[in-house]
Amino acid sequence: MKDWTFFLVFISCITFQRMIELIIASHNEKWMKNQGAIEFGKQHYHYIVSMHLLFFISFIGEKVIFNHGLTAWWPIFLIIFLMTQMMRIWALHSLGRYWNTKIIVLPNTNVVRNGPYRFIKHPNYLIVSMEIILIPLFFKAYITATLFTLLNIWILSIRIPEEENALKNFTEYEGTFQNCNRFLPKLLNKYDS
């Protein structure tokens, strides 16, 4: 019963967080479009929404069907999960009104290069990728973790190039992020000055 209580609290917190984020994204979208922003990637956005919705259905279904208990590693996973949530808040706060679940670009605006964006181009996608692996592992939902990690890789292989092309065409994105990797910070080597 203890793991079911944890499961229900855990999934409720995540669902609440996602709902708040959708409200914020909607407000940001309205503000940006009123400033003249352009939306890109409409043709694949519904796949992203579907994937995230199916992720939670799969996770809940796998827990209900197989009723795996909490992994013995759950305290470590919880620490990692809480760290990802702090990183998520940092990334969203750094983008401010420019953060969205959609690709919405305000032409000729300054590209955000503070917070975690000082180190990598796509911290929020990295965090979501970590969550897709981590959340199911709390309850040994290995099918969900594997399947949706693969689906996430596929969808990001479409989304990230589309987002980067939109930013390159309408902002100084390329110059701003020329010395920055997508997901891992560049480490200085002996030839860097």
Domains and CATH numbers, the chain: 2-171 (1.20.120.1630)
What does the block give as tokens for 5?
């209580």
Length of the chain: 193
- Has residue 192 got a pLDDT over 60? no
Fill in the amino acid letter for 152: N
Write phi, then psi, for 72 (nearest 5 degrees): -65, -20
Look at the alpha carbons of 97, 106, 22, 94 in this order and tell me if their dihedral is positive or negative.
negative
The predicted pLDDT at position 191 comes to: 46
Picking from 93, 91, 74, 86, the residue whose alpha carbon sits closest to that of residue 9 is 74
pLDDT digit string (tens) for 119-150? 999 999 999 999 999 999 999 999 999 999 99
What does the block give as tokens for 84?
């990802």
- Has residue 193 got a pLDDT over 50? no
Write phi, then psi, for 38 (nearest 5 degrees): -120, 140
3-state helix, strand, coil in the chain (%, to 5): 70, 5, 25
Picking from 120, 91, 88, 100, the residue whose alpha carbon sits closest to that of residue 48 is 100
pLDDT digit string (tens) for 34-88? 999 999 999 999 999 999 999 999 999 999 999 999 999 999 999 999 999 999 9
Q: How far apart are CA 37 and CA 100, in angstroms?
A: 12
